[in-house]
Amino acid sequence: MTDLADLTATELLAGYASGAFSPVEAARAALDRIERTDRAVNAFVRVDAEEALAAAAESAERWRRGEPAGLVDGVPVSVKDILLQRGGPTLRGSWTVRAEGPPWDEDAPAVARLREHGAVFLGKTTTPEFGWKGVTDSPRHGVTGNPYDPRRTAGGSSGGSAAAVALGAGPLSLGTDGGGSVRIPASFSGVFALKPTYGRVPLYPASPFGTLAHIGPMTRDARDAALLMDVITGPDWRDWSQLGAAPGGFRAALGEAEGGVAGLRVAYSPSFGGRVAVDPEVAAAVERAAHRLAEAGARVEEADPGFADPVEAFHVLWFSGTARVVQPLGPKDRERLDPGLREVCEQGARYSALDYLAAVDERMALGQAMGRFHAAYDLLVTPTMPITAFEAGVEVPKGSGHRRWTGWTPFTYPFNLTQQPAASVPCGLDRAGLPIGVQVVGARHADTLVLRAAHALYASGAADISPPGGS
């Protein structure tokens, strides 16, 4: 028999509706998977088994009456420990956050929407301290390993969410992405992730990283991500910059165009014009994915967006954000920070207002350049990452020569600067059995188009990879 922990959210909901199994059975399967796998990978900082089973029992009764509360009633979910979830502390991977501190009685907007729709919360997932880097380890919660090989990183900063989904510890998870933080771990861990257009998913409290920070779904496939987007894009007055849900909805966009990429103009950029050194196995897998889109009817041609690396502008904005995070901390608390975080905070505090505004100018120019690019192309396809997962517990691969995490993730942070929707889709395994991801980028507000292309890759079989052995 199929283990319920291996089913997608869509499959679970179909089972609840038919009476084949119940939300309680699904919750128990997910909790059992956590019990069997989490010791090796460290995906969760807190598991609320009693609460999850109680919520699942309430959901089961609603399904028995034929009155589900919402779109994900009874589906096991997890939440990155950056987002508020009432009933427990949001520690953000830091010893400087007091568990006993605030009342912890408020949900972030996306969490509130999940609760309204009947989701079963399993627990909170690991993050590096304040989500500051592209791998997941922190002084407070330790190192999160890759579900395919726990000696390697799951990526970050939403590494706990990626590992949870990959291992069957709930098919849906909420992550955050300020420079690649859902896409990096999705690529390394073999799951799907979408960074929506900025403002598409309401965010509260406001991020210290400003308009770089997005909330996105981490799921088994694009169909589940569309389902989750239809839930979490509900309005919330606490975010003054919210966009609201996409017209027509996300699931409807997939339903109207099953694998519908015929005629789309797709630019395939294997290395940003030779600027990025890409591992040959990664390059080959991404090229195969681009060919699958062509076979599905897209007009694919090799073309590069042509922008210079915006990493210095990104650093000004990102490191200024880290400095703002720790600004209230005294000297003793600062000594408890991740040493790398402390270093970039010090750098961020040295930037002037003029430095910041110059970075904003560069950001606007990049956004205009990508707007011009998308006048010619509907989508851009690149590798999500130029490499596969490296050793866990370090910020950069040993011997790489990189100083900061941005050195090895050049395909992700540019699209936080431009606020464009971008997804990572699994597209193969390397010879070591580690996942490879392909990135699909759309123009601002073209979230449904990105999901359609991702769904087409799943429909073509391009995203079919072996699950991690631990599950």
Minimal CA–CA distance to 381: which of 448, 460, 446, 300? 300
Q: Which is nearest to 340 in space by CA: 319, 356, 324?
A: 319
How far apart CA 417 and CA 317 sit, in angstroms, is 9
* H or E stretch at 55: helix 49-65
- How many CA within 13 A on the CB side of residue 251? 12
pLDDT digits (tens, 9 = 90+) for 153-179: 999 999 999 999 999 999 999 999 999
Contact 195, 422 (CB under 8 A): yes
Length of the chain: 471
pLDDT of residue 259: 52
**Beta strand extents in 262-412 (DSSP E only):** 265-268, 299-302, 379-383
Q: Domain of residue 441: give its range.
A: 4-460
- Residue 197 located in a structural domain: yes
Is 179 a member of any domain? Answer: yes
Residue 430 lies in a domain: yes
The verdict on pTM exceeding 0.95 is: yes
Give, in degrees to the nearest 5, the angle at Cα 396 between 395 and 397: 135
**Proportion of the chain above pLDDT 90, given as a percent:** 95
What's the pLDDT at 266? 98
Per the domain annotation, does 334 fall within a domain?
A: yes
Three-state DSSP class for residue 451: helix
Amino acid at 70: G
Report how many domains make up the chain: 1
Cβ-proximal residues to 197 (8 Å cutoff; 6+ apart), any chain: 243, 419, 420, 421, 444, 445, 446, 447
Task: Note the pLDDT tens digit of each residue in 403-426.
Answer: 999 999 999 999 999 999 999 999
Strand-pair partners of 437: 426
- 196 preceded by a cis bond (ω within 30 of 0): no
**Residue 101's pLDDT band (cuts 50, 70, 90):** confident
Is residue 471's pLDDT more than 70? no
Residue whose C-alpha is closest to residue 70's, from 21, 128, 9: 9
> 471 in a domain, yes or no?
no
Residue whose tokens read 């994900």: 72
pLDDT mean across residues, the chain? 96
Paired with 301 in beta bridges are 267
Q: Kindly report, residue by residue over 255-267, the tens digit of the pLDDT.
A: 765 558 999 999 9
Residue 152 lies in a domain: yes
CB atoms under 10 Å from CB of 238, counted, come to 15
Query: In the block, which residue shows the tokens 């395939």?
Result: 268
Is 289 part of any domain? yes
Number of other residues whose CB lies within 10 A of the CB of residue 167: 27
H or E stretch covering 441: strand 435-442
pLDDT digits (tens, 9 = 90+) for 359-407: 999 999 999 999 999 999 999 999 999 999 999 999 999 999 999 999 9
For residue 244, what pLDDT is reported?
83
Confidence of residue 470 (pLDDT cuts 50, 70, 90): very low
Q: What is the bridge-based pairing of β-strands 435-442 and 422-429?
A: antiparallel
* Lookup: tokens for 138: 């922190």
Q: Which of the residues are catalytic?
A: 80, 157, 181
What CATH number does residue 58 fall under?
3.90.1300.10
For residue 136, is pLDDT > 70?
A: yes
- 421 vs 409: CA distance, rounded Å: 17
Q: At what angle do helices 339-349 and 311-326 cross, to 10 degrees?
A: 100
Predicted pLDDT at 191:
98
- Whether the pLDDT of residue 146 is over 60: the answer is yes
Using a 10 angstrom Cβ sphere, with 0-12 exposed, 13-18 middle and 19 or more buried, the burial of residue 271 is: middle
| Distance of alpha carbon 37 from alpha carbon 471, whole angstroms | 7
pLDDT band for position 297 (cuts 50, 70, 90): very high
- Whether the per-residue pLDDT at 181 is higher than 80: the answer is yes
Question: Does 468 reside within a domain?
Answer: no
